[in-house]
Structure 1
Amino acid sequence: MVREAFGERFDVPHGYLATASVGVPPQGAVRAVQAALDDWATGGARPPAYDEPVETARAAFAALTGYDAADVAIGGSASALLALVADAVPDGARVVTAVDEFTSATFPFAAHGDRGVRVLEVPLDELGAAAAGAEVVVVSVVQSLGGAQVDLAPLRAAAAGGTLVVLDVTQAAGWRPLDLGWVDAVVAGGYKWLLCPRGAAWLGTSARLRERMRPLAANWYAGGDERWSAIYGLPLRLSPDARRYDASPAWWCHVGAAVTLPWLASLDLAAVREHCVGLADATLAGLGLPPQGSAIISLDRPDALERLTDAGVVAAARGGRTRLAFHLYNDASDVDRVLSALR
């Protein structure tokens, strides 16, 4: 089924409510990636030609999150980029996070336990208070497990007091307006709500974080503007800005991202949020449950996933519950299908 939403067209089937697992790309992104693959298949691929889509997507991610493009690094996954941040945490640091936080956010920090780094879990509604007394706080703006959203105000106060604030926006960027230029690190994988091919991720960074970060995966692509003229021999030559942390890009992924991210950045994201949250809350209301104000909802009903699957709804099992995710290409017919299956 082809759906039109916010000026783009999508091949999204009825009942697809699994964007929190894998997003469905707009047709324009699919055409761009297919054209790039055709070039590759016929000997037409030219490596320098992929610099433009990398920079286009980088600038759009910056616009979506409130950074300058020069403050954004690219990578293949959120956890790989957060590994650079975790390495910059001092020995013995106290890192606080939310209970049941997604492991791609916490594992890079927990892996430094051998040097005394302690990662402590607290309830989400207590995170702000805990952050004020910690060296680092790391949390997803929207929780993967069930769509709960973090209160950013106390985290901003903690940042002003010296706490290093690290936010994962993988489940938020693309449907929720974000203005996070005050945050030390903002990371996102692109293959969910940002509707990119899997293999592209971005990390926005603050100047104070970059003073601590080492380019552990230093490579030829991180050489910035001189990458094509100085790819052999020493000494180490890296970009002076956040591009020094770039991983060598997966080309086709950034070709797709160069279509979807600028489009998303051009939208009225308040309207996108209203659309997505409206569908999610309408589903909860139809089931006699209170609104949550998130595009992701989680149902605590043992038979839900089986009944939804039988009705042609694509959902996900997470933490013993059934997770539904409503993006901009979903509509009221998806709500009706869920309610018909579960009533």
Structure 2
Amino acid sequence: MDCDLPGPQSGPMETRETFDSLVRAEFTPKSTYLNTASNGLLPARTVAALHEAARLRAEGRPLTPLYEDVEVCRALYARLVGVPPTRVAAGASVAAHTGVIAASLPAGAEILTAEDDFTSVLNPFHVRGDLKVRAVELERIPESVRPGTALVAVSAVQSADGRIADLPALREAAREHGARTYVDFSQAAGWLPVDADAYDFTAAACYKWLLGPNGAVFLTVPEDFGGLTPVLAGWVAAEEPWRSCYGPVAELAHSARRFDLTHALFTYAGLRRSLELVEELGVAAVHAHDLALAERFRTGLAALGHEPVPAPGSAIVSVPGLGSRQPELSEAGIEVSDRAGNLRASFHLYNTAADVDRLLDALSG
């Protein structure tokens, strides 16, 4: 990925200082915020862009810049996940994108999923009523693909506990049996290097690790659209949107834009600046930063006698039995989540070692 960090001639210290200075300029949290898996913090540049978008609307000026932001976001996200922009559709929810995929499957098709995966990845297949949805443990997905499996649908990183799916093994098993693949990168894109080109369909919500406002979710599809029908298509899905506002759309977009949903323009105005920041920092640098903090927390937990859910290499750490402490931690200015009785802490670029230590100190009390 291209980024504006110093090149090979710059030493590790200079690179680290550049990373830190960019982060300090953009984030001023008023709490110890360790809850990116729920919502990422907005960078200062994103907040400024949201204000400007609101002023544009309030003053009755042309909204052309906001529509341009949508296409810039599409291109930025495409670079992030390694596909051309023509394969990226812009929507509003993972569930809507999952619904389009579910609608494309023939009656009786088998979908293989992970037990207790995030609902948006699963439920549209269930509500069809005429599909065979089979759930297995996350670790067993590759070995559970079989002849007749039409689609494997899974989150790259589990929301509840941070476990990372073995995507290479999943991909090979799916290829061996002729199954398509659908991967939700919502808890991965932004801190974990991802390759959307390796899978038939992928989706990602942008309000978590990508630091955007709520309301933007991207879908990637194959060049031939993978047999999907744009069942939710409106005027923005047309090849010429402004000439397709009335009556049936005469010609759908020749790209993945045919799967676009009406754009939340303010969201994309802010998201553009968030994605630009992620690109400036570089996912590799964010990944190293986030994992160092997560490992510091795991080490501290062991010293306190707590054992988190095994999730090696994850920026999300989930601790069984401690979820009930979330309210008191929040009152103390430490934001984490309670997920299924587990305390879930998630570490991102604006967090520091001091944040980790403050949480550990609170848990030791």
Taking structure 2 as the reference length, the TM-score comes to: 0.87
Q: Does 1:155 align with 2:170?
A: yes
Tell me the alpha carbon deviations over residues 93-120 of structure 1, each in whole angstroms, 9 at most, x when there is no partner: 111111110001000111112x2x1111
Separation (CA, whole Å) in 2 of partners of 1:235 and 1:300: 52
Which residue number in structure 2 is paired with residue 328 of structure 1? 349
- Maintained 8 Å contact 1:185/1:206: yes
1:4 is displaced (CA, Å) by 4.9
Are 1:92 and 2:108 matched, yes or no? yes
Partner of 1:126: 140
Question: C-alpha displacement at 1:293, in angstroms?
Answer: 1.9
Structure 1: segments with no counterpart, 5+ residues: none
1:293 alignment partner in structure 2: 313
1:135 correspondence with 2:189: no
> Conserved in 2, the CA contact under 8 Å of 1:221 and 1:247?
yes
The answer on whether the counterparts of 1:4 and 1:10 sit within 8 Å (CA) in structure 2 is no
Matched, 1:43 2:60: yes
Residue of 305, 309, 319 corresponding to 2:330: 309
Contact kept, 8 Å, 1:159 with 1:183, in 2: the verdict is no
Report if the CA contact (8 A) 1:307-1:342 is conserved: no
Cα 1:232–1:292 shift into 2, 3 Å: same
Residues 124/40 of structure 1: CA separation in 2 closer, same or farther (3 Å cut):
same
Separation in 2, partners of 1:301, 1:252: 40
Aligned residue number for residue 268 of structure 2: 254
The CA RMSD measured in Å over matched residues stands at 1.8
Partners of 1:126 and 1:147 lie apart in 2 by 16
For the Cα contact (< 8 Å) 2:112–2:151, is it kept in 1?
yes
Query: Is the contact between residue 196 and residue 220 of structure 2 (CA under 8 Å) also seen in structure 1?
Result: no
Query: Which residue in 2 is equivalent to 1:278?
Result: 292
What secondary structure, in the 3-state scheme, does the structure 1 residue paired with 2:334 have?
coil
Letter of the aligned partner of 1:83 in structure 2?
G
What does residue 268 of structure 1 align with?
A: 282
Q: Distance in 2 between matches of 1:198 and 1:309?
A: 22
After TM superposition, give the deviation of residue 281 of structure 1 in Å. Answer: 1.3
Structure 2 residues not aligned, in runs of 5+: 1-19
Query: How far, CA to CA, are the matches of 2:167 and 2:341 in structure 1?
Result: 28
Secondary structure at the aligned position of 2:70 is classed as helix
Contact 2:232 2:261 in 1 (8 A): yes
Provide the residue aligned with 1:238 in structure 2.
Answer: 252
CA distance in 2 between partners of 1:95 and 1:236 (Å): 33
1:223 aligns with: 238
Alignment deviations for residues 19-62 of structure 1 (CA, whole Å, 9 cap, x no partner) = 11111111001101110101111212x24332210011111111
Deviation of 1:258 after TM superposition, in Å, equals 1.0
**Paired letter, 1:15:** T
> 2:259 and 2:101 mapped to 1: Cα distance?
11
SS in 2 for 1:317: strand
State the secondary structure of the residue aligned to 2:318: strand
- Tell me the equivalent position of 2:219: 203
Counting aligned pairs with the same residue, the percent is: 37
Give me the whole-angstrom Cα distance separating, in 2, the residues matched to 1:64 and 1:176: 10
